[in-house]
Structure 1
Amino acid sequence: MTTDLSQTATDLFERMRATNPLVQCITNYVAMNYAANVLLAAGASPAMVHTPEESGEFSSIASALTVNIGTLSPNWVDGMIAAAKSANDAGKPWVLDPVAHFATGYRRETVANLLKLRPTVIRGNASEIIALGGGQSAGQGVDSGDPVEQAEDAARTLAAAQNAIVAVTGEVDYVTNGTRSVRIAGGSDLMPKITAMGCALTTLVGAYVAIAPDQAFEATVAALTNFAVTGEIAAKTAQGPASFMTAFVDGLHNLDAGTFNTTARIEVL
């Protein structure tokens, strides 16, 4: 544990809960329900607003925006672009989750256009980040085929090029802004067996950067630590993926600052 950063993450955990930030979540059909419940349990307020007729207007109201490209259609892409532009105009932070962006030409084009709008944070698995950094990944669809440590160089390069925070999540998470980097341990091997877990994490990153946009690196670390700590605790009582889902959502709701701080495993590199 690194005391200073762990304490900062704990402070942000308490602040996020006290603030109850409104997070606009443009996410995929598979993830909507679970992501919304995760945000509610963690202490934030989700709004699943995606259509272009209102997404731009709403992102100027929300405290932060998260964009997940899991299930794309032209209407949804228009909503994503409108929301990201509006968030930028309003000075609101936004988070990009480039789900399987390398799988099809449509996904590659969509992510390229979203990257031009300069997300505050990019969160993905190792294969997604390696591919975004210009490397050759072993990903298959939405599943990562690469370990996190193999994505660290690509993450630093991408962070510097985009002037963004890049979070690579997996067995041990990695967060960088191109110069500062940390690893976060914890979680459970049951987490990859539950669909939408990573998508839900993206929305939680949005909640944290919403309350500390001037500390986007620390806020991202705090969000990932919240997940890692809760996952580690939930695994102690879970009998399998289904019971883990329940234990995890309950764990987010019941987590206190003392447990957050003492269980956090943050390594500054």
Structure 2
Amino acid sequence: MSTLSGVERESVEKKQRSPETYVYESPAALAFELNTRRRIVEAAVALDASGVTFVPFETTRGNRNFWSRTSEGGLRLNAGVLPSDGINDIFRNGRLYAFECATGAVVVLYKGVLDALGEEVFNSYFKNLLLYDWHYDSDLQLTAINNREEAYPGDVQYFKNPDHDPDKPEWQGENVIVLGKGMYFGHGIGITTAEGIITALNRERVPGSRTSAYLLDETFHPDFEYLRRLSAGRSLPSAAVRYTGYAVIARIGSHNYIYTRKKIVRPTWPI
């Protein structure tokens, strides 16, 4: 525990207190998840500081040396550009980029996974990238739980704004990255608390509305074990990759930890 970062320690301590049982194949599997969660949090903080602008799909833009804008308002990686270079450029030259919050969340996940896997592995699996809404490479393998109390640093959540101004559809909600210690990053709002996210969204309601924005229960994160096996040059059986029921227990110290496998999903909430 003494060698863990703050984000990693918070994740472990929360899992220890959780009524859920978390199962991992090995101590290495837990260590990989903790490291990847930390990298995702670091990527969220970095995107917030990058200078990337929040805009609706109609005015998406990017560095043309790396990305081409699609007619729908997405950014497609240019032929001949390494995926790692395309993602890293967003963080290096953020002022050349503008996109909405779902794309921002996916970019953060890509950057965190890139830093966890390394460029060689990332470039081998995350090819032909398209940054658009909740479109993402199948190797990201997002999984979901329907319990916001079990959200950990590096997870993605959504604040819904049911009475948003219909002339501002970009404010119908906010995709956020859980940073830990009660803080969130939402592209377009920045780093703040849940109350800060809700206050910002409530400013964009229909005049006179008293229906507040709120946090949904759904919580998403990459399939950490799948990614770990990619990094080790191993593959999982297709049944294990796509459905629940594959889990192996590892006891670490005085606590049991879990890794549970869930069906591959795409977030169903709007942008």
| TM-score over 0.5 (shorter chain) | no
Structure richer in helix, relative to its length: 1
Q: TM-score, normalised by structure 2?
A: 0.25
